[in-house]
Amino acid sequence: DQQVKQNSPSLSVQEGRISILNCDYTNSMFDYFLWYKKYPAEGPTFLISISSIKDKNEDGRFTVFLNKSAKHLSLHIVPSQPGDSAVYFCAATPYNNNDMRFGAGTRLTVKP
């Protein structure tokens, strides 16, 4: 069963515009949510996270929004840069738990 879903396999945006990547989850026990970025032939790297007690977390150009009632989170990148082109994975876990579940990823392409 896929408990974390990223329904958009790909997204293309123009440099300087906003990128919005979406993620849905089904497990109510998830308490902590993370976004990872992955370049080809590299391992995923941690980007930003949010706990369920918050609905927004910002780090520079990256903001993650959490809507617990809808079981939905999104990652906003503003402004988007060509170097942001990568695959973005959404992940979720019960707090301090080892069973982290990942979405299938969204490939973001930022065009110059």
Partner 1 sequence: NAGVTQTPKFRILKIGQSMTLQCTQDMNHNYMYWYRQDPGMGLKLIYYSVGAGITDKGEVPNGYNVSRSTTEDFPLRLELAAPSQTSVYFCASRQGARYNEQFFGPGTRLTVL
Residues that bind partner 1 (CB under 8 A): 2, 4, 6, 9, 32, 34, 36, 41-46, 49, 89, 91, 93, 95-96, 98-105
For 41, phi and psi rounded to 5 degrees? Answer: 65, 20
Distance CA 13, CA 86 (A): 12
Cα–Cα distance for residue pair 55/84, rounded to 1 Å: 24
Rounded to a whole number of angstroms, the minimum distance from the CB of residue 39 to partner 1 is 10
By C-beta, is 9 or 82 nearer to partner 1?
Answer: 9
Q: How far is the CB of 103 from partner 1 (least distance, A)?
A: 5
Smaller CB separation from partner 1, 84 or 102: 102
Q: For the CB of residue 61, give the shortest distance to partner 1 in the complex, in Å.
A: 19
Taking the least distance from each CB to partner 1, the nearer of 5 and 76 is: 5
Cα distance between the two ends of the chain: 38
For residue 6, the number of C-alpha atoms closer than 13 Å in the C-beta half-sphere is: 25
CA–CA–CA angle 111, 16, 75 (5° rounding): 90
Nearest residue (CB) to partner 1, 38 versus 79: 38
